[in-house]
Amino acid sequence: MPWELTSDRPIYIQLVEHIKFDIMSGRYKPGGKIEPVRELAIKASVNPNTMQKAMTVLEQSGLIYSNRTSGRFITDDQELIDSLKTSVAEAYCRDFIAKIRQLGYSNDEIKDNLNNYLE
């Protein structure tokens, strides 16, 4: 199944996000191997050059490193992954709070609703 990609942003950026998500969610284990570019490109149904671009960005961010002989691996720097998770989570929260405030809830009401929902 090709990956879900929207049409208004460069594809390579969306690929970066998709892979980042797989790293954060644990689908790719820290220190584990990631498929070669061609394979991933075929899986995602995208141009291999585009996938390569995404890989380059990920390598620059330190989330992925490549070993010339044995392929590409996820970083085992758990701190890096965690900080990525945190910033993504923070962005989700910011987004959620902005939206829910539009409905007119106060901070306390928000907290109560959340607690009730989580139970």
Six token digits for residue 54: 């995404």
Six token digits for residue 38: 């061609």
Site map (CB under 8 A) of another protein, residues 6-35, x = contact: -xxxxxx-----------------------
Six token digits for residue 8: 């208004």
Pick 45 or 87: Cβ nearer another protein: 45
Return the ∠ at Cα 73 (arms to 68 and 67), rounded to 5°. 15
Cβ at position 27, least distance to another protein in Å: 21
Residue 2 binds to another protein (criterion: CB under 8 A): yes
8 A C-beta contact, residue 50 and residue 57: no
- Span from 40-48, 55-63, 84-92, 104-112 in contact with another protein (CB under 8 A): 40-48
Residue 110 binds to another protein (criterion: CB under 8 A): no
Pick 42 or 91: Cβ nearer another protein: 42
DSSP state for residue 53 in the 8-state scheme: H
